[in-house]
């Protein structure tokens, strides 16, 4: 350390010089990474089981068997939305993936519609309730892509309804926390298939009991860089001590 123009300086200390460079580089990297975490969509994982086949359906050729009780799983991503106070309904098209795994087949739509209703009531159902509806029925003509991989003549679609008490949502919001999504459990997915060549269709319902948050890549990256910064800081502190001992000898 030396004095320059009345100020202390670490320029002559190689440890301080290297540490300062590390801090500047890490700040430059973590700056955009941090803002990405704040704006990133929420990704949730779900698991469930196939329920009874839908009434009035006809067998069609599919790359998997629809067997009651078989497990299914998947993920979806949404942009959390905090709607204005007093808004009863909010609907948005979200360009995020919705993925359903049935045996070895992955059904994927790269966009979906999410609708939130706060305190919904009607003559048929006078008790207010909160609802979320998620589907790909209105995205173009169907899901995107609309066919099953390897079966270009078979269209597929899904509709997912979440029903909860009137206090699950604070407004017509798209939740960003897993606790709120789990407040709608259990929920029911309706998956449909239609053969273009015959016009026949089939499908099934599936019961989903719980959700779990999937870490976003940006969050994982932030954790890695934070750990790297901590490790490097420990290294430089130890190196500084080693240099001090060397100079004292």
| Contact by Cβ (8 Å): 113, 134 | yes
List all residues 6 or more positions away from 135 whose beta carbon is below 8 Å from its beta carbon.
112, 113, 157, 158, 159, 160
- What's the pTM? 0.69
pLDDT for 100 equals: 97
Same domain flag for 63 and 179: yes
pLDDT for 91 equals: 94
Q: In this structure, which long-range contacts are made by residues 27-31, counting pairs with CB atoms below 8 Å and at least 24 apart in sequence? A: 29/225, 30/222, 30/225, 30/226
Same domain flag for 234 and 151: no
Per residue in 103-157, pLDDT (tens digit) is 999 999 999 999 999 999 888 888 999 999 999 876 555 688 899 999 999 999 9
pLDDT for 19 equals: 47
Same domain flag for 153 and 93: yes
Same domain flag for 89 and 203: yes
pLDDT band at 18 (very low <50, low <70, confident <90, very high): low
| Contact by Cβ (8 Å): 208, 185 | yes
Query: How does the average pLDDT of the chain come out, rounded?
Result: 79
Same domain flag for 162 and 237: no
Max intra-chain CA distance, the chain:
90
- 198: domain range? 42-215
pLDDT for 57 equals: 74
Q: Which of 65, 144, 148, 40 lies closest to 98, judged by CA?
A: 144
| Contact by Cβ (8 Å): 208, 46 | yes
Q: How many CA atoms lie within 13 A of 5 on its CB side?
A: 0
Same domain flag for 121 and 241: no
Domain count, the chain: 2
Same domain flag for 21 and 111: no
Same domain flag for 108 and 227: no
Burial of 32 (0-12, 13-18, 19+ CB in 10 A): exposed
Same domain flag for 53 and 168: yes
Same domain flag for 223 and 209: no
Per residue in 33-89, pLDDT (tens digit) is 443 333 478 999 999 999 987 777 788 999 999 999 999 999 999 999 999 888 999
Look at the chain and count its residues. 249
* Percent of the chain whose pLDDT exceeds 70: 68
Q: Which of 147, 247, 131 lies closest to 197, judged by CA?
A: 147
Same domain flag for 69 and 192: yes
């Amino acid at each position: 350390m030396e004095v320059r123009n009345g100020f202390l300086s670490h320029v002559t200390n190689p440890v301080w010089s290297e540490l300062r460079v590390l801090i500047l580089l890490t700040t430059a990297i973590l700056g955009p990474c941090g803002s990405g975490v704040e704006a990133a969509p929420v990704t949730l994982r779900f698991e469930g089981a196939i329920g009874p086949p839908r009434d009035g359906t006809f067998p069609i050729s599919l790359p998997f068997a629809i067997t009651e009780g078989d497990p299914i799983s998947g993920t979806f991503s949404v942009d959390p939305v905090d709607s204005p106070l007093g808004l009863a309904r909010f609907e948005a098209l979200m360009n995020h993936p919705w993925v359903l795994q049935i045996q070895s087949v992955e059904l994927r739509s790269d966009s979906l519609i999410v609708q939130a209703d706060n305190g919904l009531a009607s003559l048929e159902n006078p008790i207010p309730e909160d609802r979320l509806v998620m589907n790909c029925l209105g995205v173009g003509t169907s899901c995107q892509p609309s066919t099953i991989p390897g079966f270009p003549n078979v269209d597929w679609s899904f509709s997912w309804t979440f029903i909860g008490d009137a206090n699950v949502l604070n407004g017509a919001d798209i939740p960003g926390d897993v606790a709120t999504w789990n407040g709608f459990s259990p929920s029911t997915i309706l998956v449909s298939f239609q053969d273009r060549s015959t016009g026949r269709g089939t499908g099934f319902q599936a019961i989903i009991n719980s959700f779990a948050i999937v870490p976003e890549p940006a969050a994982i990256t932030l954790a890695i860089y934070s750990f790297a910064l901590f490790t490097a800081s420990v290294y430089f502190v130890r190196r500084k001590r080693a240099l001090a001992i060397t100079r004292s000898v």
